[in-house]
Structure 1
């Protein structure tokens, strides 16, 4: 549910590919990030959506669901960074994916290039 603070109006928001089993959400301003599951239940996606937009601004495949029902990429709750606006998805095994959010677009951040520049 989304609450308009000025008017008190309640509205339902839809989260594409949201699944209670795989999705732990994290909010930053009007953006929400989570790991979602495909409609056929076979693929796990890293998703960033903006409230009020129909399609997610990021939907990247990060893994498959194995035959035993466990995802190959089980991610924890995504974390947000403010300057610049970035979201990081981290798997239980330590694999990390970071994306920069710019308005209605998302760019992949190359962590290796960033580390080389700080040395």
Structure 2
């Protein structure tokens, strides 16, 4: 019995299988659309399922970003009930949601709470364990911010106001995709129609924790 118990301990944690299914096109209406401009027939969002051990855990959209050889990030796709209180039946709609961090070994999925992230404005561009994007402040004065967040860090590496928000007549997209530079590590963010700004990103040690003691999914 002692030998049997030691054998179980030596076996180590269970290794999970994480896979992504094929893409599907689903109806999608841009958040800034109006009854006169929306075109449900032509607007669509590409989504695909995320499986852990052949069990679907999430719907995702867009490409994955490999942070390490075992951890990747991917954006979640949400299916929301858009029915009004007096509607007789549910009205399901799709929209991009928050980003997820996925561990291929443990199968652990973590929702990332990126600072000032807003699904209607923030177009995240990843480099290593850094996420660069334009965000919207939730403070009373509001504002459009350039943000660089690092996985595992409590505070953003960069958080600088670059414009006013909300704006009644704004460009779509609000910002251009971030441009990364490796040596030295820099990122350039540019509001559409505005001036570009480049920020140095200091710190090269990832704070991402990869452990084998995560809860099994």
TM bin, normalised by shorter chain, reads: 0.7 to 0.9
CA distance in 2, matches of 1:61, 1:54: 19
1:49 aligns with 2:123: no
1:12 aligns with 2:111: yes
Q: CA RMSD in A?
A: 2.1
Alpha-carbon shift at residue 25 of structure 1 (Å): 0.5
CA distance in 2, matches of 1:69, 1:14: 28
Is the Cα–Cα contact under 8 Å of residues 143 and 166 in structure 2 kept in the other structure?
A: no
| Number of the residue aligned with 1:61 | 161
CA distance in 1, matches of 2:169, 2:142: 9
Alpha-carbon shift at residue 55 of structure 1 (Å): 1.5
| Number of the residue aligned with 1:93 | 193
Q: Looking at CA atoms only, which structure, 1 or 2, has the larger radius of gyration?
A: 2
Count of residue pairs brought into register by the alignment: 102
SS in 2 for 1:76: strand
| Number of the residue aligned with 1:109 | none
- TM-score (norm: length of structure 2): 0.43
Alpha-carbon shift at residue 5 of structure 1 (Å): 3.2
| Number of the residue aligned with 1:29 | 128
Deviation string, structure 1 residues 37-96 (Cα, Å, up to 9, x no partner): 01147300000000011221111000002552637xx32111111111111002222511
Q: State which drifts further: 85-94 or 11-20.
A: 85-94
SS in 2 for 1:11: strand
| Number of the residue aligned with 1:113 | none
| TM-aligned CA distance change 1:99 to 1:68, over 3 Å | same
Equivalent of residue 202 in structure 2, options 102, 106, 110:
102
| TM-aligned CA distance change 1:45 to 1:94, over 3 Å | closer
